[in-house]
Amino acid sequence: MNAFAAAAAVLCANPDLGDDAEYYVAPWNVRHQVRVILSRPDVAAVGFQLSSTVGSYTISLPVAALPEAPVEGGRFDVAGEIYEVRQAQRDETRTMWVVECSLC
């Protein structure tokens, strides 16, 4: 494990940053317990009103927690909210999965 992988594990384990989650792919529903960092959408300005939100969410988790890439259509259950995977890729250090999701 290199320093970046160790840092990723520490960040996800931090209760102020990370959340408990389950990853699964339907219809098998074999669930993998993981710790993730969920980035929620920002509010975007429309005219002079702050009313619309950006429609995607980002979930980050250590590659060591989920050795295979999350697949499109896979799901993360984070505190009762279900997020569906649109795409997943490794970050620049190749130690974190960066997963673009949509709220189901």
Q: How far is CA 30 from CA 15, 68, 74, 89, in A?
A: 25, 14, 11, 22
What per-residue confidence (pLDDT) applies to 44? 60
Confidence of residue 78 (pLDDT cuts 50, 70, 90): very high
What is the average pLDDT score of the chain?
86
- Give me the mean pLDDT over the 22-33 stretch: 88
What per-residue confidence (pLDDT) applies to 13? 87
Cα torsion 26, 31, 35, 39 to 10°: value is 20
- Give me the mean pLDDT over the 50-65 stretch: 79
* Helix residue spans in the chain (DSSP H): 3-13
d(CA 66, CA 46): 38
> Which comes out higher in pLDDT, residue 38 or 46?
38
Residue 100 one-letter amino acid: E
| Domains observed in the chain | 3-103 (2.40.10)
Query: Would the pTM of this model clear 0.95, i.e. be above it?
Result: no
Q: Give the tens place of pLDDT for each residue, 40-56.
A: 876 665 666 655 555 68
What per-residue confidence (pLDDT) applies to 48? 61
Share of residues in the chain with pLDDT > 70 (%): 85
- Which tokens in the block code for residue 23? 């990853």
What per-residue confidence (pLDDT) applies to 53? 55
